[in-house]
Amino acid sequence: MSFFNVENLTIKFGGLTAVDRVNLHVDEGEIVGLIGPNGAGKTTVFNLITGVYMPDTGSITFKGTNLVNMKPNQIAERGIVRTFQNIRLFKGLTVYDNIRTAGHLRIPYSFVHSLLHTGLYERREKECRENADKLLGMVGLLDRKDEISASLPYGMQRRVEIARALALKPSLLLLDEPAAGMNPQECVELIDFIRKVKNEFSTTILIIEHHMDVIMNICERMYVLNFGKLLTEGTPSEIQNDPKVIEAYLGEEQEDVED
């Protein structure tokens, strides 16, 4: 029984098969990359894994349980947590409240305790605050915790989103283009940061990324998607020299020129 397994995953939107019979697996403790040209279906795979979309066929198993038909919140509860390509923070809330909101699953107390602010409430909230402080310290945003999250610069919002995901103590973290919009210096920092996350939280990571230097640096293995289909899989050096991959990316670039 493997840690995380996707078999024969397929979804169609109208006439378009966005994800076509995709198989992939992630072992515990790995950092695995998912790459491919624009529109290859990478984010759709994430949406399928996290229950935002229901697959037409296929299975998604995590630690032996089938995730298909589960609601997104149930999947998050089981330890698969994601970030979003275009960042979905609770924009009107402070950085601190973003993290505390996400920590809600890991601080068990019932409604009555909320209503009466009992001793249990107090202890659990204290844990929650300490945990939020710790996470914010780790992403280096402790000094900005009381700012409204939407007012932060883009790069910091990304870090808040990752910290928010970590508040759930995930066993599998899905990162959707964490380096988007970052300059080379920030990319180097991000690589260190992701390694640190993996070590400190002993979490497994599946990552979608366009920045090749980022993905080649941190991934042990990677999958390449093209037009919804799995093109190939392998180690970074294997992928870099695979003519099929080069063709897929070159094709895209030519299209870009025509546009």
Partner 1 sequence: MSSGFLKRLGALVVQVLVVWGIATYFKQSLPAYPIGILTVFCINAILALSWNLVAGFTGQFSMGHAGFMAIGAYTSALLMMKAGWPFLPSLIAGGTLSGFAGFLIGFPSLRLVGDYLSVVTLGFQYIITAILNNTVKLTGGGLGLAGVPFKSTLPVTAVILVITMWLITNLVHSKHGRSFVSVKEDEIAARSVGIDTTTYKIMAFVISSFFAGIGGALIGHYMMYLHPDIFNYQKTVEVISMVILGGIGSLTGSIAGAFGITLLPEVFRNLATLFGSWGLAAAGAFVKKGWTVFYAIMFLLIMLTRPQGLIGRKELTWESIGKIRLFKKLQKKEV
Partner 2 sequence: MGEFLQQLWNGLSIGSVYALVAVGYTLVFGVLKFINFAHGSILTLGAYIALLIALQKVVPFQVAMGLSMVLSGFFSMLTEQQVYKKLRVKNAPRLNMLITSIGISLLVENAIVVYFSADYHIYPRIMSGVPIQLGEVLIPPVDILLVVGAIILMLALWFFVNRTLTGLSIKAVSMDRDASSLMGINVNRAISVTFFLAGVMAATAGLLIGMKFSVNPALGGLFGLKSFSAAVLGGIGSIQGAYVGGYLIGLLETFGAGYISSNFKDAIAFILLVLVLLFKPSGIFGKGTKEKV
Positions in the binding site for partner 2 (CB under 8 A): 13, 43, 47, 52, 84
Choose the contact partner of 111 out of partner 1, partner 2, none; CB within 5 to 8 A by kind. partner 1
- In this structure, the strands spanning 65-66 and 204-208 are unpaired
Q: Which is nearer to partner 2, 54 or 250 (CB)?
A: 54
| Selected binder of partner 1 within 167, 230, 239, 248 (CB under 8 A) | 167
Contact 75, 46 (CB under 8 A): no
3-state helix, strand, coil in the chain (%, to 5): 45, 25, 30
Q: How far is the CB of 150 from partner 2 (least distance, A)?
A: 13
- Count of residues that interact with partner 1, criterion CB under 8 A: 43
Q: How far is the CB of 74 from partner 1 (least distance, A)?
A: 8
- Per-residue contact track with partner 1, 65 to 104, x per CB under 8 A? ------xxx--xx---xx-x---xxxxxx---x--xxxxx
Integer CA distances (angstroms), 73 to 89, 142, 241, in order: 16, 27, 40
Choose the contact partner of 43 out of partner 1, partner 2, none; CB within 5 to 8 A by kind. partner 2
Give me 158's structure tokens.
Answer: 């990304």
Integer CA distances (angstroms), 82 to 70, 244, 245, in order: 15, 29, 26
Contact 216, 236 (CB under 8 A): yes
Contact 123, 159 (CB under 8 A): no
Does 61 interact with partner 1 (rule: CB under 8 A)? no
Chain residues that interact with partner 1, rule: CB under 8 A: 50, 52, 71-73, 76-77, 81-82, 84, 88-93, 97, 100-105, 107, 109, 111, 113-119, 121-125, 128, 164-165, 167-168
